[in-house]
């Protein structure tokens, strides 16, 4: 099972759970139960100038990657001014809030795992009484986080071609930056930045977990369950457990996207490459 959504099909609207607990906050759902997913809750989130989301917590884990603009993230009694390329994760039950004190909208990609409950089912978001989002903060100091899970990575930090370690065996020209994973402190998901050089791709394979992909730049040819798709900036793809898929850079420059995993991968046999097992079958069966 898989899913593809064009940038022209993405629309922002109010989030009913936050209707009485936010101002200027809109959401564009990308991947959830309506796409066939059972693990992934991916969305684009936008906070208008002067907007805020009051302190809240979830019974799921929530990560984010800021695409544009600036906003104040509140975590407990701490506050951080974040901007493009900053990322972080609020673990299950971690109180957090948002406020945009700038003159431009702030937009971020958000990932939730386990997948949030559909509207009308059991509650999984809760709002402490009488609290508000902080109104002031300094730019984040990554050497002084008080245990909060925050980081920064953007395209300018991608190493030059001659200085990259091989990210995936047998796939030269692929760069991966693991941003949110087990080592970072997340328990339910991964979020990574990926770049493919022109003509580079990973052969057909599948996984025991779901993946979603939000295109940042460049163009790809995606094959999912035998169907071909062209991908461009702003497009979204999702592959379910067992979906056989591959992605190839079809442009003249690098292609980049943000990718999510849910649940976290097993410790071994993360990739099941079809060609490797076809070769094994010939060796075993003649």
Q: Are residues 24 and 59 in the same domain?
A: yes
Q: Are residues 15 and 145 in the same domain?
A: yes
Written as tens digits, the pLDDT of the chain (286 aa) is: 999 999 999 999 999 999 999 999 999 999 999 999 999 999 999 999 999 999 999 999 999 999 999 999 999 899 999 999 999 999 999 999 999 999 999 999 999 999 999 988 999 999 999 999 999 999 999 999 989 999 999 999 998 887 777 767 666 788 999 999 999 999 999 999 999 999 998 889 999 999 999 999 999 999 999 999 999 999 999 999 999 999 999 999 999 999 999 999 888 888 888 888 888 888 888 7
How far is Cα 95 from Cα 93, in angstroms, rounded to an integer? 6
Nearest CA-CA partner of 192 in 260, 242, 264: 260
Q: Are residues 10 and 42 in the same domain?
A: yes
Q: Are residues 259 and 164 in the same domain?
A: yes
Domain count, the chain: 2
How far is Cα 143 from Cα 80, in angstroms, rounded to an integer? 13
Q: Are residues 161 and 64 in the same domain?
A: no
Query: Last residue of some domain: 127, 152, 177?
Result: 152
Tokens of 5: 């959504």
| CATH code of the domain covering residue 164 | 2.60.120.10
Q: Burial, 95: exposed, middle or buried (Cβ in 10 Å; 0-12, 13-18, 19+)?
A: middle
Query: Last residue of some domain: 95, 120, 152?
Result: 152
Q: Are residues 196 and 267 in the same domain?
A: yes
Domain extent, residue 217, equals 155-285
Q: Are residues 170 and 147 in the same domain?
A: no
Q: Are residues 39 and 129 in the same domain?
A: yes
Nearest CA-CA partner of 153 in 52, 258, 227, 254: 258
Sorted by sequence, the CB contacts under 8 Å of residue 37 that are 6+ apart come out as 3, 31, 115, 210, 212, 238, 240
Q: Which pTM was predicted?
A: 0.94
How far is Cα 195 from Cα 90, in angstroms, rounded to an integer? 26
Query: Last residue of some domain: 99, 134, 152?
Result: 152
Q: Are residues 9 and 128 in the same domain?
A: yes
Residue 141, phi then psi, degrees to nearest 5: -105, 105
Nearest CA-CA partner of 108 in 165, 51, 185: 51
């Amino acid at each position: 099972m898989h899913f593809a959504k064009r940038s022209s099909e993405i629309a922002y609207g109010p989030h009913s759970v936050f209707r009485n607990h936010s101002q200027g906050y809109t959401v564009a759902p990308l991947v959830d139960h309506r796409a066939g997913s059972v693990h992934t809750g991916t969305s684009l989130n936008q906070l208008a100038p002067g907007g805020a989301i009051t302190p809240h917590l979830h019974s799921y884990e929530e990560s984010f990657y800021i695409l544009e603009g600036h906003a104040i993230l509140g975590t407990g009694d701490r506050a951080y001014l974040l901007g493009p390329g900053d990322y972080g994760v609020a673990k299950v039950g971690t109180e957090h809030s948002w406020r945009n004190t700038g003159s431009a909208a702030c937009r971020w990609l958000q990932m939730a795992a386990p997948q949030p409950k559909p509207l009308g089912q059991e509650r999984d978001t809760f709002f402490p009484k009488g609290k508000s989002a902080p109104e002031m903060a300094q730019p984040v100091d990554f050497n002084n986080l008080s245990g909060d899970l925050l980081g920064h990575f953007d395209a300018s930090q991608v190493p030059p071609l001659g200085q990259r370690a091989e990210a995936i065996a047998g796939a030269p020209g692929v760069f991966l930056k693991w941003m949110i994973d087990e080592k970072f402190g997340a328990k339910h998901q991964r979020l990574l930045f990926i770049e493919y050089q022109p003509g580079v791709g990973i052969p057909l394979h599948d996984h025991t977990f779901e993946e979603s992909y939000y295109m940042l730049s460049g163009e790809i040819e995606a094959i999912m369950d035998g169907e071909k798709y062209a991908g461009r900036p702003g497009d979204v793809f999702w592959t379910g457990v067992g979906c056989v898929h591959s992605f190839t850079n079809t442009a003249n420059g690098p292609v980049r996207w943000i990718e999510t995993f849910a649940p976290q991968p097993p410790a071994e046999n993360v990739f099941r490459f079809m060609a490797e097992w076809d070769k094994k079958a010939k060796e075993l069966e003649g």
